[in-house]
Structure 1
Amino acid sequence: MSEVKSIREAFAEASSFLSRSGCNEPQRSVQLLLEHVLGVSGAAYYMALADPFPAAVKEAFEAGVTRRGAGEPVQYIIGEQEFYGRPFEVTPDVLIPRPETELLVEAILRYGAELWPDGIVTPGEAALDSAGGAGDVRAARPLTAVDIGAGSGAISVTLAAEAPAWRVCAGDISPAALAVAERNALRNGTAVDFRLGDLLEPFAGMETDILVSNPPYIPGEDIAGLQREVRDHEPRTALDGGADGLDPYRRMMEQLTLLPAPPRLIGFELGFGQAEQVAALLAAAGHWTEIITINDLAGIPRHVLGITK
């Protein structure tokens, strides 16, 4: 970086460098790097643009720009990504939370509140048996929401923060990912029951009212064609969904037998062109009276929910 005089000049020079390097969203990347090294954000960042560039942060800023120019996601460089208005630590052990996943959380919170207004499964409320009929009457208890594939904990920690009356659990096959999720739960002041294991296996025998998951859904052969930021840096185990990307959904449907009864509310995030197939999997299971597809902000079918009211 040349001897820039102001923060605005540093922003312009670094943005130009990242653009030439083929980075997506170069200006946004530079802003995040500047906010990180300067320790400011929001309005304070914009107010500081005319200030002299501090020599004390030059080395850290240049190192971050160099790493970003080589394709490393800016979130891993600064170690953080905001989700649902809260800060989440991110490392290469977890996927970077995406804005579209906030829509899944919103839907789960909305329908969960409709089904259980006070967050309690009351006496006399019947569970669904595997045929969709009345099962054993449950004692009063907080409803239980289970997040499969916790990653950074973005979904489970947000549910626990937004619906404190709920019991929230989350599982992941990666011990390193669970360690990140646990730190994020502590950072955001939430209590989440994290468990290590494959998909639904850690929750065998647990009464589960809500099941939510953003599983790996990229077809294996498509990974080589992803953006370098994703292909070369995000964990493959959190991306690869098998030959057609649908293996985790099929396996979760098969593993529902591990639970005492199917959840009354289930919600999945999925990839481009997969909504019809995932909806068909839920319909074939026969546990939910209503199957809903939700589009993301680009109008792409991104989430499928099964609901029994």
Structure 2
Amino acid sequence: MSEVKSIREAFAEASSFLSRSGCNEPQRSAQLLLEHVLGVSGAAYYMALADPFPAAVKEAFEAGVTRRGAGEPVQYIIGEQEFYGRPFEVTPDVLIPRPETELLVEAILRYGAELWPDGIVTPGEAPLDSAGGAGDVRAARPLTAVDIGAGSGAISVTLAAEAPAWRVCAGDISPAALAVAERNTLRNGTAVDFRLGDLLEPFAGMETDILVSNPPYIPGEDIAGLQREVRDHEPRTALDGGADGLDPYRRMMEQLTLLPAPPRLIGFELGFGQAEQVAALLAAAGHWTEIITINDLAGIPRHVLGITR
């Protein structure tokens, strides 16, 4: 970096370098890196643009810009990503939370509040068991929401924060990912029961009212064609959904037998072109009276929910 005189000049030079390096959102990346090394954000950042660029942060800023120019996601460089208005630590052990997943959380919160207005499951509201009869729930209890594939904890921590009356649990096959999620639940002042294991296996025998998951859904052969930021840096176990990307959904449908009864509310995030197939999987299971598809902000079918009212 040349001897820039102001923070604005540092931003302009970094943005230009990142654009030439083929980075997506070069200006946003430059701003996030500057905010990180300067310790400011929002309005304070914009107010500081005319200030002299501090020599003390030049080395750290240049190192961050170099890493970003090589394709490393800016979130891994600064170690953070905002989700649903809260800060989440992210490392290369976890998928970076995406804005579209916030829509899944919103849907789960909305329908969860409709089904259980006070967050309590009473005997008369027991889920149906596999034979179609009432589940054996003998006393009122907090509803239990389970997040499969916790990653950074974005979904589970947000549910716990937004619906404190709920009991929220989350599982992941990666011990390193669970360590990140546990730090995020502490950081955001929530309580989540994290468990290590494959999909629904850690929750065998647990009465589960809500099941939510943003599982790996990229077809294996498509991973090589992803953006370098995703392909080369995000964990493959959080991306690879098998030959057609649908293996995790099929396996979760099969593993529902591990639970005492199917959840009354289930919600999945999925990839482009997968909504019809995932909705068909839920319909074939026969546990839910409504199957709902939700579009993301680009109008792409992104989430499928099953609901029993």
Report the TM-score range of the alignment, normalised by the length of the smaller protein: over 0.9
Identity of aligned residues (%): 99
RMSD across aligned C-alpha pairs, in angstroms?
A: 0.7
Q: 1:123 deviation in Å?
A: 3.0
How far residue 105 of structure 1 moved from its aligned partner, in angstroms, is 0.2
Q: Offset at 1:122?
A: 1.4
- Kindly report structure 1 stretches of 4+ aligned residues shifted beyond 6 Å: none
Residue 131 of structure 1, CA deviation: 3.9
Name the CA distance, whole Å, in 2 between partners of 1:292 and 1:101: 16
Q: Is the 8 A contact 2:150 2:178 kept in 1?
A: yes
Q: Secondary structure at the match of 2:124?
A: coil
Q: Distance in 1 between matches of 2:299 and 2:251?
A: 28
**Corresponding residue pairs, total:** 309
User: Quick check: 1:220–1:245 contact (8 Å CA) kept in 2?
Assistant: yes
Alignment gaps of 5+ in structure 2: none
1:83 to partner: Cα distance: 0.2
Q: Is the 8 A contact 1:173 1:199 kept in 2?
A: yes
Task: Give the TM-score normalised by the residue count of structure 1.
Answer: 0.99
Deviations 1:236-268 (A, max 9, x none): 000000000000000000000000000000000
Partner Cα separation in structure 2 for residue 124 and residue 239 of structure 1? 40
Q: Work out whether residues 125 and 138 of structure 1, in 8 Å CA contact, stay in contact via their aligned partners in 2.
A: no
TM-score, normalisation: structure 2: 0.99
Deviations 1:162-183, CA, capped at 9 Å, x for gaps: 0000000000000000000000
* 1:57 aligned partner: 57
- Tell me, yes or no, if the aligned pair for 1:148 and 1:214 is still in contact at 8 Å: yes
Deviations along 1:271-292, whole A, 9 cap, x unmatched? Answer: 0000000000000000000000
Post-superposition offset of 1:195: 0.1
CA contact (8 A) 2:122 2:137 kept: no
Shift of 1:125: 2.3
Encode CA deviations 1:68-115: one digit per residue, 9 max, x unaligned. 000000000000000000000000000000000000000000000000
Are the equivalent residues in 2 in contact too, given 1:153–1:185 (CA < 8 A)?
A: yes
Q: Verify the 8 A CA contact 1:131 1:287 in the aligned structure 2.
A: no
| Distance in 2 separating the partners of 1:16 and 1:137 | 61
Aligned residue in 2 for 1:84: 84
Deviations 1:129-178 (A, max 9, x none): 11444232431000000000000000000000000000000000000000
Q: Provide, for residues 8-35 of structure 1, a one-character-per-residue CA deviation record: whole Å limited to 9, x for no partner.
A: 0000000000000000000000000000
Contact 2:160 2:167 in 1 (8 A): yes
1:40, 1:126 → 2: CA distance? 49
